[in-house]
Amino acid sequence: MYMQCLSSDITVNVLQHPYVYSVLVFEAMAKYVGQVSVLSLIAIFWVATTAMVTTARKAVTLLLSYLIFTKPLTEQHMTGLLLITMGIVLKMLPESKIPEHNIISC
């Protein structure tokens, strides 16, 4: 009895607000494409590069949101953005290996 009442409520709700479900379907498809993209990046470039790309994407998205919606950008925001950028740049730099000298011990 309860399930029948619940299903009729859902049907009425779908008929009254069809745009909500189209938005949900679009969001699900967008998330699927995003997950496939991340998994493809992992398969091609390995995990470290993928982590840098996703972190850089989040930082750029955050910066663009502050520029587009004209939010106040505080010193803490700038410090965090600078730290993220420095971390990505340092990770991209090639690792220099210290040459090992053959030391003959007596």
- What tens digit of pLDDT does each residue of 13-62 get? 878 888 888 898 999 999 999 999 999 999 999 888 888 888 888 888 88
Domain boundaries, the chain: 12-88
Tell which wins on pLDDT, 102 or 82: 82
Question: Rounded mean pLDDT of the chain?
Answer: 82
Give, in degrees to the nearest 5, the angle at Cα 93 between 90 and 94: 135
Per-residue tokens: 14: 């779908």
Contacts of 87 (CB under 8 A, 6+ apart): 55
pLDDT category at 4 given cuts 50, 70, 90 is low
- What tens digit of pLDDT does each residue of 41-51 get? 999 998 888 88
- What span, in angstroms and rounded, lies between the C-alpha atoms of 95 and 25? 45
Burial class of residue 12 in the structure, from the number of CB atoms within 10 Å of its CB (0-12 exposed, 13-18 middle, 19+ buried): exposed
What's the confidence (pLDDT) of residue 85? 86
